[in-house]
Amino acid sequence: MALIRTSSPHLHKASSTGDVMRLVILACMPGLAAMTLFFGWGTLINVCWAILLAVGLEAAIVLIRKRPVSFYLKDYSVVVTALLLGLSLPPYAPWWITLVGILVAVVIAKHLYGGLGQNPFNPAMVAYALLLVSFPVEMTRWTQPFVLLGDADSWNILPFTDTLRVIFTGFEPVWLDNYTGATPLDAMRHRGGMTTEEAWLSKPVLADGIGAWHAVSAAYFMGGIFLIYRKVITYHVPMAMLGALAVIASVFYAFDPYDFADPYFHITVGGTMLGAFFIATDPVTCATSNRGKIWFGIGIGLLIYVIRGWGGYPDAVAFAVLLMNLAAPFIDQYTQPRTYGHAKANRGMKGGQ
């Protein structure tokens, strides 16, 4: 009789990395649906295209690295990366934008650093930031929510086939301009000499279209709550991030309501919700301990506000997350939990050099 010998524990919770990632994907679905509902097929097509590319690329790289493909693909992490990138790209972004983005995300941001678990930066955000810097025109041409197109009551989006043609053939009819426009953040930033009050009234995307953004944010929020409920993520990062953003926005808003947007606006437009629940919580690149996560979230919240307020880019989530990714190891060292039986927590990285 020769029975197997393994280390305890002999039980294992029926969950795998793949399960975790699948839950994340599932949690993204309301957001994806909302995006499609309000901004047309573009996002859906982008997401599918991105996933296709990413899976193919991952398989190719894994083969080149001489590893078994199925194991790697089964962890679904690359799908999540592609999904997040697809969700954050403008709905009518041409196909090659996505291609470049995926290339950067999978090859450079992930595998060059050693693959899953080793990358210091969130791959989707690295790709997004790079695209934003390299192709500002394509990356800032956002879509009008359907409520702003034609009469407000019908679901008036660009037909599916047209969308495909726009994305894959570079076909740009004149009427396309009707479908594109600035995001609320852009509108707010480039409001000329107007006070926020005036901007709210004069810009259609703010006056009428903002509801679409709120809806999308609400969808992401729902997904996020689901993830917290399923213990895929903890509440620390989103809470800290949203809280910090709200607090700093409130302070400035209270100080000068004419120049600064209200906190509610900051929290509900742009990539805030997506960032808070899906991007900043990316476990690989986030701080480790619960206290660390709180500091990490606060950092992101503050940076978002600063970059939105004084930076030159339409949105700040990607940059804020990347900057805090950079700080995560440092945060980790100073936020180790107090171990059972110890009077106080360790600080810093002892035992190194």
Write out the residues near another protein by the rule CB under 8 A.
Answer: 1-13, 15-17, 19-20, 63, 66-72, 75, 77, 115-118, 231-232, 234, 283-284, 286, 288-290, 293, 332, 336-343, 346, 349-353
The H-or-E segment that residue 181 falls in is: strand 180-181
Q: Is the dihedral of CA 341, 343, 345, 347 positive or negative?
A: negative
331-343: burial string, b at 16+ Cβ within 10 Å, e else = bbbbbbeeeeeee
Q: Which is nearer to another protein, 17 or 169 (CB)?
A: 17
Minimum CB distance to another protein, residue 267 (Å): 25
Q: Which is nearer to another protein, 33 or 59 (CB)?
A: 59
Q: Which is nearer to another protein, 63 or 152 (CB)?
A: 63
Minimum CB distance to another protein, residue 284 (Å): 5
Minimum CB distance to another protein, residue 29 (Å): 20
Q: Which is nearer to another protein, 60 or 152 (CB)?
A: 60
Residue 27, both tokens: 């949690």
Task: Answer yes or no: are the C-beta atoms of 87 and 274 closer than 8 Å.
Answer: yes
Q: Which is nearer to another protein, 65 or 190 (CB)?
A: 65
Q: Which is nearer to another protein, 3 or 174 (CB)?
A: 3
Minimum CB distance to another protein, residue 87 (Å): 20
The one-character DSSP state at 269 is: S
Cβ within 8 Å of residue 156, ≥6 positions away: 146, 149, 150
Q: Which is nearer to another protein, 85 or 139 (CB)?
A: 85
Q: Which is nearer to another protein, 156 or 346 (CB)?
A: 346
Amino acid at residue number 232: V
Q: What is the SS3 assignment for 292-320?
A: HHHHHHHHHHHHHHHHHHHCCCCCCHHHH
Minimum CB distance to another protein, residue 320 (Å): 20
Cβ burial, residue 108 (10 Å; 0-12/13-18/19+)? middle
What residues are paired with 180 via a beta bridge?
143
291 phi and psi angles, rounded to 5 deg:
-65, -35
Cβ burial, residue 353 (10 Å; 0-12/13-18/19+)? exposed
Minimum CB distance to another protein, residue 233 (Å): 8
Minimum CB distance to another protein, residue 108 (Å): 18
Minimum CB distance to another protein, residue 25 (Å): 14
